Chains A and B, each alone.
Chain A
Amino acid sequence: MKDRQVKILERAIVREKAARKAAEQILEEKSRELYFKSQELEELNKRLELLVREKTTQLKGVFENIVDAYVVMNLMGDVLKMNEAAENLLGYTIEDSINLMQMVHPQEQEKVVAGFATLLEDGAVTDFQVKIVIADKSERLVHINASLIYDESNSPIAAQGIVRDITELKNLENQKERLLLKLEKSNEELQEYAHIVSHDLKSPLRSIDALVSWIKEDNKGKLDAASEQNLSLIQTTLEKMELLISDVLNYSSVAADNNIAEQVDLNSLVSDLIPILFVPEHIEIKVMHKLPTVLGDKTKLQQVFQNLISNGIKFNDKEKGFVEIDVLDLESHYRFSIKDNGIGIEPKFQDKVFKIFNTLNKREDSTGIGLSIVKKIVSLHEGDIWIDSTPGIGATFFFTLKK
């Protein structure tokens, strides 16, 4: 071998060695990388596995702990899975291998077939109510929300549904409706009753008045003055009795009547009202500001103003009396005031006057019901009523009406 050849070979070997070393180094690096990667992957796998396990446990928890019944069935309606709530509700276990149609009430078969068709078409059904027959043959009304389950190629393989027993709920609802109807009816009856009673109570009064009139008429000049006066007192008492009956009827009508809610122009209501009230010459009635229009029952609101203004007139003992009607615009309400300069009401009586049959002054023309009617009407209109008064100086009745 020639020297040159040897040298070439030696160089080649050196190059080869260097190349191998480089390759080995790369290999080592790569394998290290690979090791780390696989390590990483393993880690990731473990984490994924954990996650899957966690999700599965979670799902299982939901499945088992959900209060509502949860049912999975295949597209033929065969039940594949049920949670405990479902087993409790239906009375079947998964071993009974039941079919949906087995449980549907005979009258509801068509409805369920249609519902299932909707489910297949739309992928979900919500608020589906149906009567079913459970294992013990009793009937239940259930509420169902259902949706389809798909495989990876997106074709439906099963249906899942949340079933809620609303039998009791429906019963309660029906019961509530029945009670409401009954209440309405008994209210009507009460109203009817009040009318009949008032009629029956008034008839004898009328008869007594006629009879007393005849005694007076037939014995004209024959009765002494005292007897004449006593007979007249009987008649006055009868009038008072009649007023009492009318007022009691009015009071019971306030809540019983169906309330008509309409826009009521209080300004024209009050200005129409004043001329029909009996106002003595020495008393002046003033409306201080234009009154608003409110939503309410016109007849009843008129009764409020009539009663309060009449009271202001009735209990006025001053030489120059007044009754002032005013209004203040509050945020959600109007506050009305009826102010007089009459006899006033002592503080200790200020709440009492609104209670039925509490009249502070014995008068022929007052029964002690007027203000309780007023309070009842104001409450019906979601308002409040109170008094501000200094005895001897006057009284102001405040009341609010909802806007």
Chain B
Amino acid sequence: MKSLNILLIEDDAIEVMKLKRVCNSFGHKHKIIEANNGEDALQLLEQKDNLPDIILLDLNMPKINGVEFLKILKGDNRLQYIPTIILTTSNNQKDLLECYKAGIAGYVLKPLKYEHYIEKIEKLLAYWSMIELIKA
């Protein structure tokens, strides 16, 4: 399995710990880059030679929120090709429609139970390590 460069945009420290723990516990070689908000993430994405393979994005964040971040991302010639998956608690139809309009690769509902979270993230990472990605 190919190892992925993952940009996780998430302001909740425990959510970050969760993803890291899942990635570590199964001996994957996925690399996680953290950003606590959309602004930080955009700064990280300035480094053009080190772009992530996929972005995992939390919708509710301070400063630039998820949807705003998406719009900036998809408006950028280079960054628009990075598959972005939404991690969210709310299945608010209105928000999700807006995300799909902006252009997302999918969304994952954060489950309550950690064991269900492991299952979902496992499958998600397995899927994206198989997918051939294009880069601008």
Contact = CB atoms under 8 A, between A and B. Distances in A.
* Chains A and B are bound partners: yes
A206 B89 contact: yes
B89 A203 contact: yes
Contact of B112 (A198, A214, A238): A238
Given A202-B112, A239-B112, A242-B112, A210 B89 contact: no
A390 interface: no
B14 A235 contact: no
B12 interface: yes
Interface string A236-275: 0011001000000000000000000000000000000000
B15 interface: yes
A206 B88 CA distance: 12
A199 B18 contact: no
Contact of A235 (B15, B60, B113): B113
A207 B112 CA distance: 8
Given A199-B60, A214-B21, A209 B90 contact: no
B90 A207 contact: no
B100 interface: no
A381 to B, nearest CB: 22
B61 to A, nearest CB: 12
A210 B14 contact: yes
Contact of A199 (B14, B90, B112): B90
Nearest to B17: A210
Contacts of A207: 12, 14-15
Nearest to A211: B14
B92 interface: yes
A74 to B, nearest CB: 63
B93 to A, nearest CB: 9
Contacts of B110: 206
Interface of A: 195-196, 198-200, 202-203, 205-207, 209-214, 235, 238-239, 242
Given A198-B89, A209-B112, 18 more contacts: A195-B92, A199-B88, A206-B15, A206-B89, A206-B112, A207-B12, A207-B14, A207-B15, A209-B113, A209-B114, A210-B17, A210-B114, A211-B14, A212-B114, A213-B114, A214-B114, A235-B113, A239-B112
**7 smallest beta-carbon distances between A and B, as pairs:** A213-B114, A207-B14, A210-B114, A199-B90, A199-B89, A242-B112, A195-B92
26 contacts: A196-B90, A198-B89, A199-B88, A199-B89, A199-B90, A202-B112, A203-B89, A205-B112, A206-B15, A206-B89, A206-B111, A206-B112, A206-B117, A207-B12, A207-B14, A209-B113, A209-B114, A210-B114, A210-B117, A211-B14, A212-B114, A213-B113, A213-B115, A214-B21, A214-B114, A242-B112
